């Protein structure tokens, strides 16, 4: 799949050398003299000029060739299209131009029967991956073939793009695929060990970031491959100690992206990013406990509580979350307008482990007015007049701390259990995702 596209080692037509070097004037002059050169291909790999332009990121020449009605789905000897080669080499401008020219994203090569989506995921080009997925949503593929089916498309060995990204240590691609409906527990056919899930392959590759993302989206730590191995055993076999610690079934279960949030009709992308960040912060607190005393350290910087205190000291009390009195309000419920921090929003419907037989399909409700939550957006900062500012200046951080401790001891009518547990980001242990709240549904393990 990574074959070279250089024309220097052979004595093939000068057109291909000019295309590779990006010599637009020479290419145009040669095509003016002999238009039939558009249909020429290299002797061995059967690369067309469009293949070479796409693989080398020569966007001007590629655009010129497409303007001359060159077939965007031309095939080389291995039935690879220019779009596949552009995705393989991460040439995002060429990928976008080919997609604009309606290049077929459902073409399969003859090497591993992979599509352009497989190529982008395997080689870790997240921008190309996102561009292809965006094109799939607005093309006939989404209608005729199905978008969810395309995201989980399998190659000749039964591997989805998520399998490939997990094995090759591509956390950015893993995140994009999971956010677009990739099946986190899908098993492979003949790729890797038969029956491997993305978590098995991430454990083999040793990527902590990939494992974090997969666990946060509900990957099963005890699902076995065809050899009867769980991901924990795979990580141990390949000497990935930190990965094994997180995958150990006896360690605390991770917090999982809440199923009820998937039923919210309009989850604002910025709000979703805040919620995902809060989820990862909460799981990093869990990781600190699991990896405490171990020789391996986290690869990402841990969350600091000092920054939270600094933010609180600069904000007025009206900007603090009324549930935990720890975090600033960053999420707003529409249309009622009530605001919460991202941690408490997650706590409304967070669970330890997804269970389709017991999962509640009822959307979460606002804790203040009890109305169904249909839309979440990023909260707008409130403007305060001079009197409010004076009040905010008088209020000290000690007063805020006393209000928070008073809130924890007293609780509220519908969030008594949550308030007693403290901030969502510091919840840990096996029961960290369970919220025993009065008149609220509880997702059972």
Residues 7 and 106 in one domain: yes
pLDDT of 134 > 90? The answer is yes
In 3D space, the residue among 8, 91, 77 whose CA is nearest the CA of residue 48 turns out to be 77
Residues 343 and 278 in one domain: yes
Residues 229 and 350 in one domain: no
CA angle 381, 386, 390 (to 5 degrees): 95
- DSSP track, 101-134: TT--TT---SSS---HHHHHHHHT-HHHHHHHHH
Residues 162 and 136 in one domain: no
Rounded to two decimals, the pTM is: 0.74
Residues 183 and 318 in one domain: no
Q: What is the mean pLDDT of residues 16-42?
A: 92
pLDDT of 39 > 60? The answer is yes
pLDDT of 160 > 80? The answer is yes
pLDDT score recorded for residue 252 = 83
Of the spans 181-185, 363-367, 396-400, which averages the highest pLDDT?
181-185
Residue 299 binned pLDDT confidence (cut-offs 50, 70, 90): very low
Give per-residue pLDDT as tens, 254-280: 888 876 666 666 677 888 888 888 888
Give per-residue pLDDT as tens, 68-95: 989 999 999 999 999 999 999 999 999 9
Higher pLDDT, 159 or 295: 159
Q: What is the mean pLDDT of residues 10-33?
A: 86
Q: Does residue 434 lie within any of the structural domains? A: no
Of the spans 185-199, 288-302, 364-378, 405-419, which averages the highest pLDDT?
185-199
Residues 234 and 329 in one domain: no
Give per-residue pLDDT as tens, 104-116: 999 999 999 999 9
Q: Does residue 436 lie within any of the structural domains? A: no
Six-digit token string for 269: 């992308």
Task: Report the number of distinct structural domains present in the chain.
Answer: 3
Q: What is the mean pLDDT of residues 282-288?
A: 82
Six-digit token string for 106: 């459902």
List the CATH number of the domain containing 344: 3.30.40.10
Using the 3D structure, point to which of 108, 141, 174 is the last residue of a domain.
Answer: 141
- DSSP track, 363-391: PPB-TTT--B--EEEEPPPPP--HHHHHH
* Domain boundaries, position 222: 152-251
CA distances in angstroms from 125 to 60, 121, 171, 192, listed in the order given = 21, 6, 11, 22
Residue 17 neighbours by CB under 8 Å, 6+ apart: 7, 8
Order of strands across the sheet with 375-378?
266-267, 375-378, 331-334, 339-340
pLDDT of 411 > 80? The answer is no
Using the 3D structure, point to which of 116, 141, 166 is the last residue of a domain.
Answer: 141
pLDDT of 427 > 50? The answer is no
Q: Which residues lie across from 376 on neighbouring strands? A: 267, 333
Q: Does residue 354 lie within any of the structural domains? A: yes
CA angle 35, 38, 42 (to 5 degrees): 135
Q: Does residue 100 lie within any of the structural domains? A: yes
Query: What is the percentage of the chain residues whose pLDDT exceeds 70?
Result: 71
Q: Does residue 442 lie within any of the structural domains? A: no
Residues 70 and 186 in one domain: no
Residues 414 and 365 in one domain: yes
Using the 3D structure, point to which of 117, 141, 165 is the last residue of a domain.
Answer: 141
pLDDT of 219 > 50? The answer is yes
pLDDT of 5 > 60? The answer is no
Residue 114 neighbours by CB under 8 Å, 6+ apart: 1, 84, 108, 122, 155, 156
Residue 396 neighbours by CB under 8 Å, 6+ apart: none
Q: Does residue 169 lie within any of the structural domains? A: yes
pLDDT of 415 > 60? The answer is no
Q: Does residue 331 lie within any of the structural domains? A: yes
pLDDT of 48 > 70? The answer is yes
pLDDT score recorded for residue 262 = 65
Least confident of 85-99, 182-196, 256-270, 308-322: 308-322
Helix and strand numbers, DSSP H then E, in the chain: 22, 4
Residues 270 and 418 in one domain: yes
For the chain, what percentages of helix, strand and coil (3-state, to nearest 5) are there?
50, 5, 45
Residues 175 and 77 in one domain: no
For CA atoms 92, 98, 102, 107, the dihedral sign is negative
Of the spans 206-215, 353-362, 412-421, which averages the highest pLDDT?
206-215
Q: What is the mean pLDDT of residues 170-195?
A: 93
* Other beta carbons within 10 Å of 247: 26
pLDDT score recorded for residue 72 = 96
CA angle 258, 177, 112 (to 5 degrees): 145
List the CATH number of the domain containing 224: 1.25.40.20
Residues 265 and 241 in one domain: no
For CA atoms 246, 249, 255, 257, the dihedral sign is positive
Q: Does residue 147 lie within any of the structural domains? A: no
Residues 421 and 281 in one domain: yes
């Amino acid at each position: 799949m990574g074959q070279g596209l250089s024309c220097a080692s052979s004595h093939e037509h000068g057109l291909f050398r000019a295309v590779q070097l990006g010599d637009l004037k020479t290419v145009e002059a040669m095509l003016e003299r002999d238009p039939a050169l558009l249909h020429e291909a290299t002797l061995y790999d059967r690369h067309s000029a469009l293949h070479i332009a796409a693989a080398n990121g020569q966007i001007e020449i590629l655009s010129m060739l497409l303007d001359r009605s060159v077939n965007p789905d031309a095939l080389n000897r291995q039935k690879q299209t220019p779009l596949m080669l552009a995705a393989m080499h991460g040439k995002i401008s060429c990928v976008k131009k080919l997609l604009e020219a309606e290049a077929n994203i459902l073409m399969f090569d003859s090497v591993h029967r992979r599509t352009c989506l497989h190529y982008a995921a395997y080689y870790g080009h997240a921008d190309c991956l996102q561009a292809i997925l965006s094109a799939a949503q607005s093309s006939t593929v989404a209608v005729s073939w199905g978008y969810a089916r395309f995201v989980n498309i399998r190659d000749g060995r039964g591997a989805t793009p998520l399998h490939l990204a997990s094995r090759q240590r591509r956390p950015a691609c893993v995140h994009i695929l999971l956010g677009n409906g990739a099946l986190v527990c899908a098993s492979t056919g003949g790729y890797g060990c038969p029956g491997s899930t993305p978590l098995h392959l991430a454990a083999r590759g040793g990527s902590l970031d990939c494992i974090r993302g997969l666990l946060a989206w509900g990957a099963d730590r005890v699902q076995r491959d065809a050899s009867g191995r769980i991901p924990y055993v795979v990580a141990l076999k390949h000497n990935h100690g930190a990965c094994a610690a997180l995958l150990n079934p006896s360690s605390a279960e991770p917090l999982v992206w809440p199923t009820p949030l998937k039923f919210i009709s309009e989850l604002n992308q910025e709000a979703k990013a805040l919620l995902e960040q809060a989820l990862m912060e909460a799981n990093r607190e869990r990781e600190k406990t699991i990896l405490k005393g171990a020789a391996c350290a986290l690869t990402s910087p841990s969350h600091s509580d000092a920054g939270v205190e600094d933010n609180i000291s600069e904000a007025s009390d009206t900007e603090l979350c009324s549930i935990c009195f720890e975090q600033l309000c960053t999420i707003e419920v529409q249309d009622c307008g009530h605001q919460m921090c991202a941690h408490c929003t997650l706590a409304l419907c967070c669970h330890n482990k997804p269970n389709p037989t017991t999962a509640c399909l009822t959307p979460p409700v606002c804790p203040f007015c009890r109305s169904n939550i249909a839309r979440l957006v990023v909260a707008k900062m409130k403007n305060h007049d001079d009197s409010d500012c004076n009040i905010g200046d008088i209020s000290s951080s000690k007063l805020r701390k006393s209000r928070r401790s008073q809130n924890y001891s007293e609780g509220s009518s519908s969030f008594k259990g949550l308030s007693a547990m403290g901030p969502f980001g510091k919840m840990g242990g096996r029961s960290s995702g369970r919220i025993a709240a009065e008149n609220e549904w509880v997702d059972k393990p």
